[in-house]
Amino acid sequence: MRREEAEIFSRNEPSPLGSVESYTPGKRRWEYLPPMPTARCSSASVQTPSMLLVIGGVAQGPSDAVEALCLQENV
């Protein structure tokens, strides 16, 4: 299944989150994906046609973690 959109919930909240959800417009619904290895808040994210990258943020202190989610099957 191709992931149309993936969303990282990382707002300026007091506790880090590792949640990842995917929205499929054809189904009009959100589906949970496996959580990120590093829960965090205040991170940056960039989406390309095939990858979603999550960069930095705050976990128990500043995080230099960079994680990627492949958005296409068979890649």
The per-residue pLDDT for range 5-39, each reduced to its tens digit, is 555 554 556 678 888 887 788 889 888 888 889 99
Is the pLDDT score of 73 beyond 90? Answer: no
Q: If you average pLDDT over residues 47-66, what whole number do you get? A: 89
Percent of residues, the chain, with pLDDT higher than 90: 11
The closest of 23, 41, 33, 24 to 68, measured between CA atoms, is 33
Residue of 69, 72, 73, 55 whose CA lies nearest to 20: 69
- State pTM to two decimals: 0.69
Is a pLDDT exceeding 80 seen at residue 66? yes
Determine if residue 36 is left, alpha or beta; phi over 0 gives left, psi from -120 to 50 gives alpha, anything else beta: beta
